[in-house]
């Protein structure tokens, strides 16, 4: 059993009242003195908790709270900070960490997980610890390409709680040890009736010979009734017979397996005695649920391996798709594929978002799916049919020998593609003529004929980068106005396939970022990937390198698009002081929060700022320097009629920025 740390009220929550330095575009607040007086705090508005990753099972990332507004946001200060101590820059055999958690707030308690997969329960208004639980993670080694991370936990409560009985409210939590834990939400103790000692193993039928870092859940399960439904990360580019991408539903009470959906194509005949089918597309991101219709919406990853599909034999039927499953049985209701025969690692990265608006397709219930390509597909929630026209367009051909390319790919017409795809040597970026000339030669060296240029032996440019475009932070949607907000990265990479006999002479462990080498064992090729950077370390494609966009879903029109982030903390001093070299946007990791008061909060950038934007115009109206990059998604809550609204974000950076462990809560000062 894991260790329990309960009743430890020597909290690591840290209170900051009246002493915060708050930098804003309109002025500075120092020791409580601001350039403009703060309006009285409005306590008349609604209250709300945050019971799921995106606030609800629909994935909206929207809060109905209005206490923090455009006219007082510049007065925000750090109300409390919690430091778990669970972070590492790697080395000595231990993996580096990336603090990506999105806490939940329910029953006046905040719950979050750390990269070491410990779970903390805090007082949401002070940050004081109520309990913590340690699963005693075994898989902390640095094997594999991924940092240690945990994106969140899930909450379940009994429909008719039995007084005095433990585990009537449960926290469900997956770990890198490929285990799913159930904890008593009140005490943090494992629920002894769940599996064995409060946990179940997730590797049955998966392929237990795979190392720990090749298969494990990184996103919290979706709770539908008394079911916990989840998939798992499967490591990219390693082998053709990668662990199965099965999605499973478990009984929240007992841990019993209720159903399993093995994403094989219709009519597939499995080998006799085999477990789940190896090499199928997995589900590493967040699921969403429609309880009224009994549907689960699943964002699918790639069939294995990612950059060569000549030997998949149809196993990519569900690859890079949004799939609707029956919540009771796990049977497929519909699927929509956003990339055919994906060989670009363009898996569906974000939670399908559920919205219903009277001016959107006559009020039809919709699913909105963002993709790494900067595409947004708006689908009928019951049938999967596009609510705006989607065109199949011819795309570049001529891949490597043995590959089987799709002749066309789907393009949404509304909303229009939000990511630029033009890239030529003449468009090469550079801070100076020296690095611009370097990038110009680099772009000319590799093949590029548009976003679906296939990987080649000579090397092909991919725009957007395999990390997006859009990624796991997802979209935020205003359900009243039907407006959508999303951040993107704008960076190119190069993918080059290497014949097996040549690749086997290389040492993949010798690759140093931005170069990556992956074996794709069982195929005729290995793969080399690297980001298209200048000799000064800046992206070769033109800026902005990060953006924030707003879309009117009812009309399908782009409302505005602005750069997001700066080169501070990446470009050397004093280059980032020069506006022309500073305000270029930055790659983004994470997502944003929308509030009913018309504010959009986001960290996500490579500079260490937390920002607020005016949702109507895209104007940045507040930012604050924070100790580490906030590569996560914010949340907001207000617990009582006489209490404040809090905005909370995990700031712990990643292996490319600055690594830490700060959970920050912002509120208006007393």
Residue 561 pLDDT level (bands cut at 50, 70, 90): very high
Share the mean pLDDT of the chain. 91
In 3D, which of 663, 655, 585 has the Cα closest to residue 618?
Answer: 585
CA distances from 561 to 529, 546, 571 (A): 29, 10, 24
- Quote the pLDDT of residue 391: 97
Active site residues: 345
- Helix boundaries (H) for 344-489: 433-445
pLDDT at 592 over 50: yes
Q: Region 528-543: what's the mean pLDDT? A: 94
Distance CA 380, CA 386 (A): 6
CB 212 within 8 A of CB 143: yes
Q: What letter does residue 510 receive in the DSSP assignment?
A: G
Distance CA 208, CA 212 (A): 9
CB 353 within 8 A of CB 286: no
Distance CA 73, CA 668 (A): 8
Give the CA count within 13 Å in the CB-facing half-sphere of 666: 30
Rg, C-alpha atoms of the chain: 24
More confident residue, 46 or 511: 46
Bridge partners (DSSP) listed for residue 325:
296, 332
Pairing of β 62-63 and β 592-595 = parallel
Residue 219: both structure tokens together: 């996103």
Overall size of the chain counted in residues: 670
Bridge partners (DSSP) listed for residue 562:
548
- Quote the pLDDT of residue 49: 98
Per-residue pLDDT reduced to its tens digit, 655-669:
778 899 999 999 999
Residues whose CB is less than 8 angstroms from the CB of residue 136 and which lie 6 or more positions away in sequence, other chains included: 2, 3
Residue 118: both structure tokens together: 């410990």
CB 455 within 8 A of CB 396: no
Q: Region 559-567: what's the mean pLDDT? A: 95
Distance CA 478, CA 488 (A): 19
Three-class DSSP category at 425: helix
Residues whose CB is less than 8 angstroms from the CB of residue 245 and which lie 6 or more positions away in sequence, other chains included: 231, 232, 234, 263, 280, 281, 282, 283, 300, 301, 303
- Quote the pLDDT of residue 29: 47
Residue 163: both structure tokens together: 């007084």
pLDDT at 523 over 70: yes
Bridge partners (DSSP) listed for residue 299:
322
Q: Region 558-579: what's the mean pLDDT? A: 84
The terminus-to-terminus CA distance of the chain in angstroms comes to 43
- Quote the pLDDT of residue 208: 56
Residues whose CB is less than 8 angstroms from the CB of residue 375 and which lie 6 or more positions away in sequence, other chains included: 338, 411, 412, 417, 418, 419
Q: Region 11-27: what's the mean pLDDT? A: 35
pLDDT at 69 over 60: yes
CB 637 within 8 A of CB 595: no
Three-class DSSP category at 631: coil
- Quote the pLDDT of residue 35: 59
> What is the sign, positive or negative, of the torsion defined by CA atoms of 42, 48, 50, 54?
negative
Residues whose CB is less than 8 angstroms from the CB of residue 220 and which lie 6 or more positions away in sequence, other chains included: 53, 151, 152, 153, 154, 172, 173, 174, 230, 286
Distance CA 632, CA 472 (A): 9
Bridge partners (DSSP) listed for residue 667:
77
Residue 366 pLDDT level (bands cut at 50, 70, 90): very high
CB 247 within 8 A of CB 260: yes
Sheet strands (E) in 11-94: 13-15, 21-23, 28-30, 62-63, 77-83
Per-residue pLDDT reduced to its tens digit, 464-499:
999 999 999 999 999 999 999 999 999 999 999 999
Pairing of β 222-224 and β 227-230 = antiparallel
pLDDT at 435 over 60: yes
Distance CA 42, CA 72 (A): 10
Residue 25 pLDDT level (bands cut at 50, 70, 90): very low
């Amino acid at each position: 059993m894991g260790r329990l740390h309960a009743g430890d009220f020597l909290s690591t929550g840290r209170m900051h009242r009246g002493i915060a330095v708050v930098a804003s575009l309109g002025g500075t607040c120092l020791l409580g003195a601001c350039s403009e007086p703060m309006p009285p705090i409005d306590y008349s508005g609604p209250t709300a908790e945050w019971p799921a990753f995106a606030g609800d099972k629909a994935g909206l990332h929207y809060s109905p709270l209005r206490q923090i507004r455009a006219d007082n946001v510049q007065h925000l200060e750090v109300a409390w900070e919690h430091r778990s101590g669970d972070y590492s820059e790697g080395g000595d055999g231990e993996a580096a960490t990336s603090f990506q958690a999105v806490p939940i707030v329910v029953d006046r308690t905040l719950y979050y997980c750390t990269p070491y997969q410990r779970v903390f329960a805090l007082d949401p208004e002070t940050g004081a610890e109520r309990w913590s639980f340690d699963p005693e993670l075994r898989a902390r080694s640095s094997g594999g390409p991924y940092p240690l991370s945990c994106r969140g936990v899930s909450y379940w409560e009994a429909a008719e709680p039995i007084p005095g009985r433990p585990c009537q409210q449960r926290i469900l939590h997956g770990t890198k040890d490929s285990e799913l834990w159930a904890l008593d939400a009140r005490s943090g103790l494992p629920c002894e009736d769940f599996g064995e000692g409060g946990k179940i193993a997730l590797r049955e039928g998966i392929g237990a010979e795979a190392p720990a870092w090749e298969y494990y859940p990184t996103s919290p399960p979706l709770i539908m009734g008394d079911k916990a439904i989840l998939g798992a990360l499967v490591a990219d580019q390693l082998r053709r017979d990668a662990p199965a991408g099965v999605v499973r539903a478990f009984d929240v009470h007992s841990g019993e397996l209720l159903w399993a959906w093995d994403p094989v194509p219709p009519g597939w005949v499995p080998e006799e005695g085999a477990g789940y089918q190896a090499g199928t597309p997995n589900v590493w991101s967040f699921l969403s649920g429609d309880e009224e219709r009994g549907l689960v919406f699943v964002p699918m990853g790639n069939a294995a391996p990612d950059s060569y599909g000549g030997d998949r034999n149809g196993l990519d039927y569900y690859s890079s798709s949004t799939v609707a499953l029956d919540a009771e049985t796990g049977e497929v209701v519909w699927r929509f594929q956003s990339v055919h025969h994906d060989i670009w690692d363009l898996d569906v990265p974000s939670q399908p978002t559920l919205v219903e608006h009277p001016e959107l397709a006559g009020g039809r219930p919709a699913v909105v799916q963002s993709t790494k390509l900067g595409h947004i597909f708006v689908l009928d929630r019951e049938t999967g049919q596009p609510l705006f026209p989607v065109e199949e367009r011819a795309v570049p051909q001529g891949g490597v020998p043995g590959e089987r390319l799709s002749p066309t790919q789907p393009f949404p017409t509304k909303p229009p593609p939000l990511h630029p795809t033009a890239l030529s040597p003449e468009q090469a970026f550079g801070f100076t003529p020296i690095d611009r000339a370097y990038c110009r030669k680099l772009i000319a060296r590799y093949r590029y004929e548009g976003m679906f240029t296939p990987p080649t032996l000579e090397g092909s440019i991919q725009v957007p980068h395999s990390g997006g475009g859009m990624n796991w932070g997802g979209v935020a949607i205003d359900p009243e106005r039907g407006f959508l907000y999303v951040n993107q990265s704008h960076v190119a990479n190069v993918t080059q396939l290497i014949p097996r006999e040549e690749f086997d002479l290389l040492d993949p462990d010798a690759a140093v970022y931005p170069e990556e080498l992956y074996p794709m064992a069982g195929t005729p090729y290995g793969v080399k990937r690297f980001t298209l950077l200048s000799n000064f370390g800046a992206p070769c494609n033109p800026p902005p390198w990060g953006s924030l966009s707003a879309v009117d879903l009812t009309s399908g029109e782009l409302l505005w698009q602005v750069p997001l982030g700066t080169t501070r903390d990446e470009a050397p001093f004093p280059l980032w002081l020069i506006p022309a070299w500073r305000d270029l946007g930055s790659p983004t990791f994470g997502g944003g929060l929308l509030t009913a008061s018309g504010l959009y909060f986001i960290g996500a950038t490579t500079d260490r700022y937390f920002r607020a934007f005016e949702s109507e115009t895209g104007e940045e109206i507040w930012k604050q320097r924070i100790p580490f990059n906030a590569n996560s998604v914010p949340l907001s809550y207000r617990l009582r009629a006489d209490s404040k609204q809090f905005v909370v974000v995990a700031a712990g950076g990643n292996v490319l920025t600055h690594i830490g462990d700060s959970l920050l809560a912002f509120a208006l000062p007393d």
